[in-house]
Amino acid sequence: MISTSLEEIPLDEWRYAWRIEQLESPLSALDRERIRPLSVASSKRIAGYLDATNLHGDFPFKEGFFHRIESLALTPVDHQDKLLKEDQKVKKWLYRRGIPFDAPVFLTYDSSTVVLTTWKMLVRHWQLFYYSISDDLTVCDHSMNWCLLFFHEHELFFGTNKTEPNKPNLRGQFENC
């Protein structure tokens, strides 16, 4: 289980803060507050824990670590209309993983770069947090009962210890992403 007593740094000191300025629509002040980069020392603790579990000992996850693994292939897009469709496809797929929107999640880029945010922020702003080709991003909560890997070759993997897929009520809530 991952510890929750962690040191944060200001958002503008986050290694990927420049990505916020690249967004088409500015983040609200509340959304900016929900992106909580961790200090290098705290990031090393989280990354060290993930390394100790050997989570990525096999691809995408250590064999037997999760009961079920699901994946989603991303389509590289070159047109705004296609980008919107891809964005909605990924948001819907993430939403259907059944993680509560208010669940705190760790976004681990490497041993010195970890962000604490909520599942809802990841679903709403996944393109802020993940750049295909450049990022391998591991997302998990403190329990490690599930994990999401944004793989740099345009693919997402979700491992879970639930034996049956989540069946969230899709009416109304997804549109709030």
- Is the model's pTM score more than 0.95? no
Provide the sign of the torsion angle of the four alpha carbons 29, 34, 35, 40, taken in this order: positive
Model pLDDT, residue 5: 85
Model confidence band, residue 171 (pLDDT cutoffs 50, 70, 90): very low
- 94 phi and psi angles, rounded to 5 deg: -60, -45
Mean pLDDT of 93-108: 97
Give the whole-number percent of the chain exceeding pLDDT 90. Answer: 74
How many other C-beta atoms are found inside a 10 Å radius of the C-beta of residue 75? 10
Long-range contacts of 76-83 (CB under 8 A, 24+ apart): 76/132, 76/154
Model pLDDT, residue 164: 66
More confident residue, 33 or 1: 33
- For tokens 């300025």, the residue is 21
CA distances from 118 to 23, 68, 115, 158 (A): 19, 23, 10, 17
Model pLDDT, residue 165: 58
Q: What is the pLDDT of residues 144-153, one digit of tens each?
A: 999 999 999 8
More confident residue, 132 or 97: 97
Question: In sequence order, what DSSP letters do the residues of 112-162 get, joined into one string?
Answer: TEEEEEEHHHHHHTHHHH--TTT--EEEE-TT-SEEEEEETTTEEEEEES-
Q: What is the pLDDT of residues 27-67, one digit of tens each?
A: 999 999 999 999 999 999 999 999 999 999 999 999 999 99
